[in-house]
Amino acid sequence: MVQATAGAGTSRGLRLLVGTAATVVALAGVRAVAGIAGPAFLALVLIIAVSPLRAWLRHRGARTWVLVTVPLLTILLLLIVLVGSLVVSVAQLVALLPAYAGRYQQLIGSITRQLAHLGITQEQVSAMLGKLDLGSLIGLAQGFLGGLLGIGSAFVVIVLLIFGMSLDAPLTHDAIRALGSARPHLVEALGGFARGTCNYLIVSTVFGLIVAVLDAIALWIMGVPLPLLWGLLAFITNYIPNVGFVVGLVPPTLLALLDSGPGAALAVVVVYSVLNFVIQSLIQPKFVGESAGLSTTITMLSLFVWVYVLGALGAILAVPLSAFARALLIDADPETRWAIPLVSGHAPTRG
């Protein structure tokens, strides 16, 4: 019996090592084709997002072409509005920043004088600030927001994938249901992933809209330029778990600093901390984690992993990607379902 127990322990340890190695290899493979894998999963998430609309149409007895066309047009309309708004806003930002060249030089001079009072020489200040001209800030802003526009650059690929998935969605739905008797755990896992993803998107979208509207109104009242852009950025970064608040805070704070000085920048930080930190960092993670079936720790770790694998798009898709991995690797396999409480953060129910 001792030998059997030792053998079982060795077998579990070996499976763990092999599984870990396979995960690393799989993630490396996904990273190698991130330009395809990222848009493909984004298209899948969008198809899942409109699945309640498709189910409603099916329940109403709609024809197959309606089940394909209406959800497809809904997704395309949302993408066009989002990407178009982002492109116009970024163009306005790039056109606006050169007007702050004089203010930027004044700010640098003020910083230099303050550092001189602390005993830092002019040469040291020049070495620290030599590369920080307004042109580099413009390039930084373009690069930062250009990462978001990467979705727009892959727009054709995403549209083609969405079109194909929309055509296949009714057939795929029926095919998965037909597998219920042969692969019940797999069907249950995929169904749970789809429902959890829909819930996650609903929660994130609702909180994102609340935060975006409040941020835009507050910035408009304070006179910060381009409040609609920063509200849109707050909405997008709301899909980034835990640290989206910081990502959405930095650009409007810097612009407020250039436009109106340290007092306005501090006001932006305070307002964002009150509005965003409480909602995004304290309230929303609880609902997001529960809706996706992931604990707070797993949600945070997934952000690091998927940013490394897919870049900026991985930050936005971190939670759905991890929920999909949980569905395939844990929920669908009876031998690994014991790990569900570990990744969900909920104690197992006692029956």
Instruction: For the beta carbon of residue 168, count every other beta carbon within 10 angstroms.
Output: 13
- At 192-205, the pLDDT tens digits run 888 888 888 888 88
Q: What is the mean pLDDT of the chain?
A: 77
State pTM to two decimals. Answer: 0.76
In a domain, 68, yes or no: no
Question: Residue 265 — very low, low, confident or very high, per pLDDT cuts 50/70/90?
Answer: confident
What pLDDT is stored for residue 284 in this prediction?
67
Determine, yes or no, domain membership for 257: yes
Split into its structural domains, the chain has a count of: 1
pLDDT digits (tens, 9 = 90+) for 308-344: 898 878 888 888 998 888 888 888 888 777 777 878 7
In a domain, 106, yes or no: no
- Among 203-212, 260-269, 293-302, the least confident range: 293-302
Residues in Cβ contact with 318 at an 8 Å cutoff, skipping those fewer than 6 apart = 240, 241, 299, 302, 303, 305, 306, 307
Instruction: Measure CA of the first residue to CA of the last residue in the chain; give whole Å.
Output: 29
Rounded to an integer, what distance in angstroms lies between the CA atom of residue 286 and that of residue 281?
9
234: domain range?
196-343
Residue 178 lies in a domain: no
DSSP code at position 346: -
The pLDDT of residue 293: 72
Of 2 and 217, the one with more pLDDT? 217
